Amino acid sequence: MGNPIRTVFKRQEKKYLLSETEYKEILSAFVTYMQADDYGEYTICNVYFDTANDDLIRRSIEKPLFKEKLRVRSYGVPSAEDCVFLEIKRKCKGVVYKRRVSMTCAQLQVYLDTGQHPWTRSQIFSEIDYFMRMYMPVPKLFLAYDRTAFRGREEPTLRVTFDKNIRYRRTELCLSAGDSGEYLLPQGQYIMEIKSDGAMPLWLCGILNDMRLYPVSFSKYGNIFKIQLQRGF
């Protein structure tokens, strides 16, 4: 786990919805080209923020050319002194930009409650401060999933992740409150996400074509919000 923590990302991201059979087939096809990343299988926990009227997610599901969101993320359920990330994620004309700062869970709560920084102000933190002043966001949704991640053997910037057991809740909107929730997808379905700095390698295009796998527009938060609208929340 010796990799440095990245704070800035710019990449293309494409999502695919897979069955259990397709998941196993594509893993078999990946053996020559991909290897597991340093973390193996792990759980990602998120709390998403939005305005009181859900303006950000409402705009997002309209598929504008530009959209942005704020979330806090942890890898596993954190204790007060564990590292968590506060992230702004933007998408502009199909390119994803992610900027994040890390701190302890306790420091994050102080910032959210008071706006007090855990250290000297940084450029990314200044952007987050501006976001907070502009939207005055509040916690809206807890979202967790179990992820397995791979990276290219010859293309180190190529990353492919598989998310399963996507679950969410609208109460206890805190990373330290456990990772339980209602499931979004049926058992045995996966979200595969291909993340790359540029064009996909030809071998990967060939695998996707042979398996007849095509990108889908799938936002975890967006789909959950649509479910909530249908239920009258």
Q: How far is CA 40 from CA 146, 147, 148, in A?
A: 11, 8, 6
Q: Are 204 and 33 in contact (CB under 8 A)?
A: yes
Domain 8-231 has CATH 3.20.100.30: yes
Domain map (residue ranges) of the chain: 8-231
Cα separation, 44 vs 74, whole angstroms: 6
CA atoms within 13 A on the CB side of 157: 11
Angle, vertex CA 196, rays to CA 92 and CA 179, nearest 5? 80
Question: Average pLDDT in the 195-211 region?
Answer: 93
Q: How confident is the model at residue 102 (pLDDT cuts 50, 70, 90)?
A: very high
Mean pLDDT over all residues of the chain?
Answer: 93
Q: pLDDT per residue over 148-186, tens digit each?
A: 999 999 998 899 999 999 999 999 999 999 999 999 999
Q: How far is CA 35 from CA 22, 26, 130, 218, in A?
A: 18, 13, 39, 25
